[in-house]
Amino acid sequence: MLDILIRRANVNGVIVDIAIKDGLIIDIDNKVYGDATVVFDAQNKVTIPGFVDCHTHLDKCLLNEQQPYQEGTGPQKGALTYEMKKSFTVEDITLRAEKMINKAIKGGTLHWRTNVDVDGSVGLKGMEALLKLKKKYENQIHLQVAAFAQEGVFWDGETESLLEEAVKLGADLVGGHTIAKGEGEKHIDFILALAKKYDLEADFHLDESGNREHYLLPYLAKKVIELNLQGRVNGIHLCTLSALTPQELEEAMGYIEESKLKITIAPTAISTRHIAPAKRILKTGVPVGLASDNMRDFFNPLGSGDVKQVALLLSYLQRFFLQEEVDQIFEMITTGGAKVLSIKDYGIRIGSRADITVLDALTVNEVIAYQNAPVFLVRNGLVFS
């Protein structure tokens, strides 16, 4: 007797039945025979393990519930957030993050990487909260937690050692911000060295301002190659690419290819700057993912933790309208994102943990266009509702 049998699921364009027992996918065929405790007819709807959302800030989400959004420059918003961070508690961070985690699960997200600020203002409170939530929700969503130097590394006399403590607490990776406090190359050196020392991946908010003077991709690529960290570093944003000449842009693509940099596009940044040219980056063949980034805070008063929304936004912004382009967008929130996050076993296959998301759509085009919630969720072999 099977636990769950999903009939007529559209997996990569092929209609199959999926059999689940003891938390695992035990059979995938055009017709599985046998009874099951739960039988669900997917009616040929698109079926995936779950969405992949490559970047957010769960420790700072929903700050607008405590203080209304206000307009201002980037540094002003950063200063406002920094002030609020001083009064964060583990409980407060947990409550806010948990709300968004639950929304993301219901929206079908299975893998989500969050940066968590680590510095003198908030200490390790964010790490403590998110590592506990990672454990609490492990059967429903896979969280990756990055110990993040949002404010810079060397300016407060505390962040340097706190980052190392965060790694020892269990951070999955380390995160840097290449324009933070003007630390530039020194900042990159520190974050990469920390990643190397603990054999972790690294993740940078890279060239986020969109300004040419903040263009550090060439230096990052050079250091990644020097340290033999190819394929282990993710660059988020790269807005400065949109300010380069065509020839400089081609050189930039060379840096990305040679260093095997992984790329995450966060399209909501369009509210204040240009977005990196995703179609050109995809041509390099490196993994490219999409991300919710900020959610209901001073940088983005909107945001729901539903990565389909950012896929729709990028589709409009950069005209991903042709069939092969819609397929690319869908890939960015599924298999492409899984490569960015180095998820080895992403896919619906026999022997895998039973994480199945049946979407309310017959094609990937309908997934992006209609933005429907999933109709059936299985997480770790259990029906989730």
172 binds Zn ion (CB under 5 A): no
In terms of CB distance, is 276 or 361 closer to Zn ion?
276
276: number of Cβ within 10 Å: 27
In terms of CB distance, is 53 or 293 closer to Zn ion?
293
Q: Compute the least distance from the CB of residue 337 to Zn ion, in Å.
A: 15
In terms of CB distance, is 206 or 359 closer to Zn ion?
206
**What is the footprint of Zn ion within residues 131-160 (CB under 5 A)?**
none
Query: Applying CB under 5 A, which part among 11-19, 41-49, 289-297, 338-346 lies near Zn ion?
Result: 289-297
Q: Compute the least distance from the CB of residue 205 to Zn ion, in Å.
A: 6
Q: How far apart are CA 98 and CA 100, in angstroms?
A: 5
Q: Compute the least distance from the CB of residue 214 to Zn ion, in Å.
A: 15
Find the DSSP H helices in the chain: 74-85, 90-107, 125-136, 159-169, 184-197, 217-226, 246-259, 278-283, 307-318, 323-332, 335-340, 364-370
293 binds Zn ion (CB under 5 A): yes
Two structure tokens written together for 270: 């369009």
Q: Which residue, 115, 144, 129, 96, is CA-closest to 57? A: 115
Under a CB-based contact definition with an 8 Å cutoff, are residues 255 and 218 in contact? Answer: yes
Q: Compute the least distance from the CB of residue 74 to Zn ion, in Å.
A: 12
Residue with tokens 């405590």: 66
In terms of CB distance, is 2 or 236 closer to Zn ion?
236
Q: Which residues is 349 bridged to in the sheet?
A: none
208 binds Zn ion (CB under 5 A): no
Q: Compute the least distance from the CB of residue 345 to Zn ion, in Å.
A: 26
Two structure tokens written together for 18: 């999926």
In terms of CB distance, is 140 or 240 closer to Zn ion?
240
Query: Applying CB under 5 A, which part among 40-48, 182-190, 256-264, 288-296 lies near Zn ion?
Result: 288-296
In terms of CB distance, is 208 or 355 closer to Zn ion?
208
Q: Which residue, 233, 291, 261, is CA-closest to 54? A: 291
Q: Compute the least distance from the CB of residue 107 to Zn ion, in Å.
A: 19
Q: How far apart are CA 39 and CA 323, in angstroms?
A: 33
Would you tell me which residues interact with Zn ion (CB under 5 A)?
293
